[in-house]
Chain A
């Protein structure tokens, strides 16, 4: 299937960029920076309407902004205050609600780095996950960990507080990057089922559309916490799912690459012959549900590739047996990191794989990882990469 093109949406420390190409994915056009100077944690398009994009624009100084585009990223607006429309409602109330993320009720406390309790404080949106069926519905994973949802195209956001109010909440703790809800997976076969992951609490599943949640961390083993097999407290870095097999999940944990085939009821390690099983991103080939990708990083204390060689590892067996992919990637003096939301796959054939680095490179493979080339080399540090196949 030859689509007319692809659009890669890149969030960086200093703005957003859109990288576009035709179906061959050889020649690229770069646009940006959008929202120059702001941290863009994530940009993602609606599967229902590819021209509708949502962006998380954030700043330690000025807080959280949600941006939306309805024309594929040419123009953007804050959905609470559409460009050209009145900035107040007919009764005079300001329409600035799209930036507002307020926890439901009294937020309570979680575990701090030193083991004491610390109040929940909203900091930013890490991840935006548009609904598979409704262009106005989007889920937002935030720091400090919670799940929000909009059903009006981003104009207002409301917490699905059953997650944060889970009994284990006081035991959740921040990882080095903060206590973030960074992964949201929607089950295409069951609208009531959703998976999320939090650093450092672990993975959770809902089977009732987000009202109630339970931890799904059985089988995870984390030596850096007091009880290595605890129900919560695991630093899950990323989870990936192939839409055709929504009960099979692949996880890159702080250490260990894991797999479940029963919707998270039990996990088993599939690190196999990886040179190190520390890392951040993990993703699944668009057409081969047993083909997965990771980018191993040396260790928790040295966040760069082993031996200065940037290598993607691919397993065609759903884990355990990994092959090294290096063609076109730097194999000396490379000390960048690839963050958890900075890998994506397109749905073309052959499947395209993309990832961005903290050194500002975005690499693309148009042949499922066999060979790579940089689309751009000198962006700000890349926080997130998403790709859309355009009709």
Chain B
């Protein structure tokens, strides 16, 4: 079970409170976690990654275990603590005012 913490606007969109818990097949990577997120919450498609290119939207960032993993390759393994559910995978809207 992988835990994902979404920013407030996406929690509203997905109609969830608190963390999302996902079953992810295979190794836990950004891609596999986001694939599982979008499969379970299709209304989030396009909000974190581009619909077509699947690239991270430029004002969205990913954190895990206190580290910014936004620029890690999408198929790189996430930390073991995220993979075993002891730490959440954080999706964060970049701080840019507004």
Contact = CB atoms under 8 A, between A and B. Distances in A.
Q: Do A and B bind each other?
A: yes
Interface of A: 36-38, 59-65, 78, 80-81, 87-88, 94-97, 99-100, 102
B91 to A, nearest CB: 10
A63 B57 contact: yes
B76 to A, nearest CB: 23
A17 B7 CA distance: 23
Contacts, number: 66
A96 B52 contact: no
Contacts of A63: 46-47, 57
A78 B98 CA distance: 25
B93 A96 contact: no
Given A87-B43, A96-B44, A99-B51, 16 more contacts: A59-B9, A60-B96, A61-B57, A62-B7, A62-B47, A63-B47, A63-B57, A65-B13, A81-B42, A87-B41, A94-B45, A95-B42, A100-B45, A100-B46, A100-B51, A102-B51
A59 B47 CA distance: 9
Contacts of B51: 99-100, 102
B39 interface: yes
A154 to B, nearest CB: 13
Interface residues of B, number: 26
A61 B46 contact: no
Given A60-B59, A61-B94, A94-B38, A99 B43 contact: yes
13 contacts: A36-B12, A59-B9, A60-B59, A61-B9, A61-B60, A62-B48, A62-B93, A81-B42, A87-B40, A88-B39, A96-B46, A97-B45, A99-B46
A159 to B, nearest CB: 13
Contacts of B96: 60-61
A63 B41 CA distance: 16
Interface in B45-70: 45-48, 51-52, 57, 59-60
Given A62-B9, A62-B48, A80 B42 contact: yes
A95 to B, nearest CB: 5
Contacts of A38: 9
A15 to B, nearest CB: 11
Contacts of B13: 62, 65, 78
A100 B44 CA distance: 11
A88 B38 CA distance: 10
Contacts of A80: 42-43
Given A60-B59, A62-B60, A99 B52 contact: no
Which of B7, B43, B98 gathers most chain A CB within 10 Å? B43
A212 B51 CA distance: 27
Given A61-B57, A62-B48, A96-B46, A37 B9 contact: yes
Nearest to A94: B42
A41 B39 CA distance: 28
A96 B42 contact: yes
B10 interface: yes
The secondary-structure label for the interface of chain A is loop
Contacts of B10: 62
A223 B7 CA distance: 46
B94 to A, nearest CB: 7
Contacts of A61: 7, 9, 57, 59-60, 93-94, 96
Interface string B59-98: 1100000000000000000000000000000000110101
A78 B57 contact: no
A37 B42 CA distance: 21
B57 A88 contact: no
A108 to B, nearest CB: 16
A80 B51 CA distance: 14
A96 B10 CA distance: 14
Interface string B1-31: 0000001111011000000000000000000
A324 B98 CA distance: 36
Contacts of A99: 43, 45-47, 51
Nearest to A100: B51
Which of B41, B46, B51, B60 gathers most chain A CB within 10 Å? B46
B53 to A, nearest CB: 10
Which of A60, A63, A64, A81 gathers most chain B CB within 10 Å? A63
9 interchain residue pairs of minimum CB distance: A96-B42, A94-B42, A96-B45, A62-B47, A61-B59, A61-B93, A99-B46, A81-B43, A100-B51
B5 to A, nearest CB: 15
